Structure 1
Amino acid sequence: LSVSCYGAESEDIKCCNTCEDVREAYRRRGWAFKNPDTIEQCRREGFSQKMQEQKNEGCQVYGFLEVNKVAGNFHFAPGKSFQQSHVHVHDLQSFGLDNINMTHYIQHLSFGEDYPGIVNPLDHTNVTAPQASMMFQYFVKVVPTVYMKVDGEVLRTNQFSVTRHEKVASGLLGDQGGWTHRFAHLPLGTRHPEEN
């Protein structure tokens, strides 16, 4: 029994048994997956209902990232990520662009170990998105820092400064709702001696 991929069949995807199979076939073709209610597999699996049930959910993210001392970024966005035209994108169609609320709270962000008196400028940052489908970009400049304790112990860590920009995301490739931290390591450093 061959199940339709709704025109998105290819050499390696000849049939689509599940909603996820259809979504993958569409993704590989570079097609937008706009209306899952027109796809039999998605109707059968209750795809739209599942998305509707999750629309007011949020998430809590915590952990550690190890980054090289080169410019880079990390970001948070809803949806499933994939590569399209050599660009990292997220499939947000199932949420509807008018339903994406990127309000966020950053409890703590640092680039290395903290030392007494360090100020991490994004700690306890609470941002309410003024409207749906907002895109927040944090531009972070990381400064290598050496903290010298009175007992001679040396802590090699980092400080940073940050600038935030926000706009309504157009939904076009590379311009989607979410929040991104773009960071660059500066080629200078600071030394901080511990005070008695």
Structure 2
Amino acid sequence: MFKQLDFYSKHVDDDSQRVRTSTGALISVISIITCLTLVIVEFTNWVKGEVRNELTVDTSTETEMTVFFDIVFPRLECRFLAVDLTDQGGKHLHNIWQNIEKTDLELDGSVMQSGALKEKYSLNDIIKNEKDLSSEQQKALKKLEKCLPCFEATSEQDVCCNTCGDLIAAFQKTKMDFIRVLRYPQCKNLDWSNLFVHKDRGGCRVKGSINAGRVEGRLSLSLIRPFRVNATGPSGLIDFLSENLNMTHTINHFSFGKDHPALKHPLKGHTTYQPYPGFFNYIVKIVPTTYISSLSNVDTYQYSVTRYSRRFSNDETHSPGVYIYYEFTPQRIILRQSRASFLHFLVRLCAVVGGVFSVAAALDNILYTIHLTTLSKTDPLHI
């Protein structure tokens, strides 16, 4: 039965019979599989086409681009992170929240039940779940009907700030840094250890997009302003940060402009393990790129990156965090995708199929001839 698959039947001496062999059937099956594989490969290559690279001077007049990012800090809470953007075009954006999604994570990386946080954290959120006054103190104040002042947060006499939460809310209304409340008795139970991040707490996923100018600039994900050195002074902060701040992070995605299947993102999946505070700098060189195909033209950006980091020290003037510095090259890469005509594809297909079957037929003929020669030497009467 298997011999019936032999496409290369052989003639006997008088050409009145055709012989099918098991070897011929095996070669026929192999040739069919080979043909199908090569046909699929040829069709795939024809659909993809050929991409040609061109290098030219960038003459684009665009003034803005979009930066997309998705970064996970597994041991740094969202309430302590701020997204900032500055560039040489004069743009200075601090604690950006528009189009930014912050998601609180558990220690195992799962999303907290609170879900995604799409707005700025208020100062009340910063001390949420922290004890400001004992229940006995609250009862004593209520019994005495005592009204504690709000200090420089307000000049109104009839406003009381009996708890640390009240005092922080008052400072929030006046746009003052809440770190000042540590001076006053209502917040005497608060200190760095219960305000700041600890290693046994959860993490944060920061995902979003920002419109930036097409000039040299810097995107940073660092500590919010109340915990920056230039806002609080380095006194007592260095040792605390060294013990409690874990800056380990993973960059799930980072790109500029429109996406394209041919784009490669060097920072995708990059993880930096740093269980201490420091500056994690990424120097990004952006190359404007145009993809031209028969269906569409896409203007986007490729980039290369260099990484380095250093520890937080006493003489720093900036906050620990992730800093991405980017600048543009004056060249533009043009990638043109071209495809051969369908007639050309058919010619190549016929050549592939014909070549496979021709080689298979020749191989089968050689093997059959060897078989007859061997058989004639061992059993001449059989021939």
Q: Check the 8 A contact 1:150/1:193 in 2, yes or no.
A: no
Structure 1 counterpart SS, 2:188: helix
Residue 160 of structure 1 aligns with an amino acid whose one-letter code is Y
Aligned to 2:329: 186
Aligned to 2:261: 116
Alignment match of 1:67 (pick from 204, 207, 212): 212
Alignment match of 2:277 (pick from 133, 137, 140): 133
Alignment match of 2:240 (pick from 88, 96, 104): 96
- Rounded Cα–Cα distance in structure 2 between residues aligned with 1:126 and 1:34: 36
Residue 156 of structure 1 aligns with an amino acid whose one-letter code is D
Alignment match of 2:300 (pick from 157, 160, 165): 157
- Rate the CA distance shift 1:189–1:167 in 2: closer, same or farther, 3 A: same
Aligned to 2:149: 3
Residue 168 of structure 1 aligns with an amino acid whose one-letter code is R
Query: TM-score normalized by structure 2?
Result: 0.39
- What's the offset of the Cα at 1:76? 0.7
Q: How does 1:49-68 map to 2 (within 5 A)?
A: 49=194, 51=196, 56-68=201-213
Q: Check the 8 A contact 1:19/1:39 in 2, yes or no.
A: no
Q: Please tell me whether Structure 1 or Structure 2 has the larger radius of gyration of its CA atoms.
A: 2
- Rounded Cα–Cα distance in structure 2 between residues aligned with 1:68 and 1:35: 38
- What's the offset of the Cα at 1:77? 1.4
- Rounded Cα–Cα distance in structure 2 between residues aligned with 1:63 and 1:170: 30
- Rounded Cα–Cα distance in structure 2 between residues aligned with 1:83 and 1:48: 16
Residue 214 of structure 2 aligns with an amino acid whose one-letter code is K
- Rate the CA distance shift 1:52–1:101 in 2: closer, same or farther, 3 A: closer
Q: Check the 8 A contact 2:199/2:245 in 1, yes or no.
A: no
- What's the offset of the Cα at 1:2? 6.5
Structure 2 counterpart SS, 1:102: coil
Q: Which runs of 5+ in 2 are unaligned?
A: 1-146, 162-166, 340-383
Structure 2 counterpart SS, 1:77: strand
- Rounded Cα–Cα distance in structure 1 between residues aligned with 2:216 and 2:280: 18
Aligned to 2:357: none
Question: What percentage of aligned pairs have identical amino acids?
Answer: 25
Q: Which runs of 5+ in 1 are unaligned?
A: none
Aligned to 1:106: 251
More helix by share: 2
- Rate the CA distance shift 1:54–1:75 in 2: closer, same or farther, 3 A: same
Structure 1 counterpart SS, 2:262: coil
Root mean square deviation of aligned Cα: 4.0
Aligned to 2:222: 77
Task: Indicate whether 1:144 and 2:288 are aligned.
Answer: yes
Structure 1 counterpart SS, 2:205: coil
CA displacement, residues 58-85 of structure 1 (integer Å, 9 cap, x when unaligned)? 210111111111111111113336999x
Q: Check the 8 A contact 2:198/2:245 in 1, yes or no.
A: no
Structure 2 counterpart SS, 1:96: helix
- Rate the CA distance shift 1:19–1:170 in 2: closer, same or farther, 3 A: farther
CA displacement, residues 83-132 of structure 1 (integer Å, 9 cap, x when unaligned)? 99xx8x79995x93121111100011110122222111101111101x41
User: Which is further off, 69-78 or 50-59?
Assistant: 50-59
- Rate the CA distance shift 1:71–1:136 in 2: closer, same or farther, 3 A: same
